[in-house]
Amino acid sequence: MHRTSPRTSLRLVAVISAALAAFTFTGCSSSNTSGAASPAIDDGASSTTTYDTALDVTTINNAPVPGEMLPEQNVFVMLDTIDAHGNRLKSSQGTRKAGTRVAIHTHEFGGQTCVLSGVITDFVEGHEPMEWPAGTCYYMPPNTLMSAANLGTVDAVLIDTFNQPPDTPLITIREPGWPSD
């Protein structure tokens, strides 16, 4: 069993608390229909790309995504509850193995990922790929083609957080060949 020091545990709690606060602040509940972005946070609404919703998407920005498709490993749910607005709030931690990536996918209601260790390269339709090192978080805009890859040689540990209506899928895989988990 892996044990963390009190300092590491407090740092993890601080990262999760900040991430949840930022996620809630962006107004990602189903009741937000104004489409207005917070002035302090770019929620991606202005750059969301319209695309064919077919399940046979093989490129982002007209290029294949590097890395072997593989689900996150060692996944465990940290929080799965219904919030005060009736939305499902779910956070899970998992490991993205070195050299692997998630299939091209979408999130109907968006979400966020915090990188605890390693480096993740985020591929999002309409944007240049971005690297996210340990200690950073990134937003996954709704209804936008994306993939995340660990292009390094060290496994990356991530926390994914979603806040959306219950009984809606957290992720929709759009790329063929995704291994079943």
Query: What's the pLDDT band for 97 if we cut at 50, 70, 90?
Result: very high
- Per-residue model confidence as pLDDT tens digits over 73-82: 999 999 999 9
What contacts 118, CB < 8 A, 6 or more positions away? 96, 98, 133, 134, 150, 152, 154, 155, 156, 157
Is residue 136 predicted with pLDDT exceeding 60?
A: yes
Q: Which residue has the higher pLDDT, 41 or 71?
A: 71
| Percentage of the residues of the chain whose pLDDT score is greater than 70 | 69
Q: Which residues pair with 119 in a beta bridge?
A: 133
The pLDDT confidence band at residue 30, using thresholds 50, 70 and 90, is very low
Domains of the chain: 48-173 (2.60.120.10)
**Comparing C-alpha atoms, which of 90, 104, 102 is closest to residue 156?**
102
pLDDT on residue 53: 59
User: To which residue do tokens 């770019």 refer?
Assistant: 42
Reported as a single tens digit per residue, the pLDDT across 1-25 is 444 444 444 444 444 444 444 433 3
Position 117 scores a pLDDT of: 98
Global pTM reads 0.73
DSSP class per residue in the chain: -----HHHHHHHHHHHHHHHHHHHHTT-STT--S-PPPSSS--SGGGPPP----S----BTTBPPPSEE---EEEEEEEEEE-TTS-EEEEEEEEE-TTEEPPSEE-TT-EEEEEEESEEEEEETTS--EEEETTEEEEE-TT--EEEE--SSS-EEEEEEEEE-TTS-S-EE-STTPPP-
The span from the CA of 10 to the CA of 55, in Å, is 41
